[in-house]
Amino acid sequence: MNRLLRLLFWILIGRPLVLVVLGLNVRNLKGLPRQGPAIVVANHNSHLDTFVLMSLFPLRLLHRLRPVAAADYFLRNRAIAWFTLNIVNMIPIERVRAGKRAADPLQDCAKALAAGEILLVYPEGTRGETEALAKFKGGVARLKEQYPDVPVVPVYMQGLSRALPKGEYTLVPVVVDVFVGEPVVWSGNRQAFTQALQDSVTTLAAAAPSRTWR
């Protein structure tokens, strides 16, 4: 039942919202993985980020897409929790708090990769400032160390912080640029891989056109 509801939502609401209300300019769409397991990493500026990423994949992969997000933010409201878990198919992650650490916050992500699914991850950990990249966290590197053959594809998105800014609830139609990079090669070192991943997204950002939003 949830699979059917998910499919109907993305056909009737999710994709039209992205493809009709927003203008998408996508470069290297074919660079996105077309089968799992795989990890797609992207910058994070808006709640629309996941809607855009999921709309770029063919519908046949919809049930393989697993956005990763903070449990404390999306599970605090029953209705939002149901929507994110059953329609968005989110994997909730317990954020590490001072003096308190979950046994393994990435356990469900590892299980998803083992099942051949595609993770959508925001390594900054939270929505950043408008069109600015924050320092990447090392969770993706930990997964890559465990699954070195799983491709990790970087993506940079520009304009979504203008379409639906942090703290706002009114959608503004703008042109959104999406740049898909090449898979980042595992170096055997978590810190070096995390830096290479951030450098790759930064390079994609530098190629983005300069736009003026009103």
- What is the reported pTM? 0.90
pLDDT at 157: 92
**212 belongs to a structural domain:** no
**211 belongs to a structural domain:** no
Q: What is the pLDDT of residues 79-128, one digit of tens each?
A: 888 888 888 899 988 766 555 555 688 999 999 999 999 999 999 876 55
CATH number at residue 32: 3.40.1130.10
Mean pLDDT for 34-45 is 94
Total domains, the chain: 1
Tell me the two tokens of residue 94.
């317990």
Only one residue has tokens 């992650």, namely 93
**156 belongs to a structural domain:** yes
Full residue range of the structural domain in which residue 56 is found: 2-95+103-206
Largest CA distance in the chain: 46
Please work out, in degrees rounded to the nearest 5, the angle formed at the alpha carbon of residue 197 by the alpha carbons of 194 and 198.
90
Of all residues in the chain, the percent with pLDDT exceeding 90 is 49
User: What does pLDDT average to over the chain?
Assistant: 85
| 98-107 contacts, C-beta under 8 A, 24 or more apart | 105/139, 106/139, 106/142, 106/143
pLDDT at 214: 47
**213 belongs to a structural domain:** no
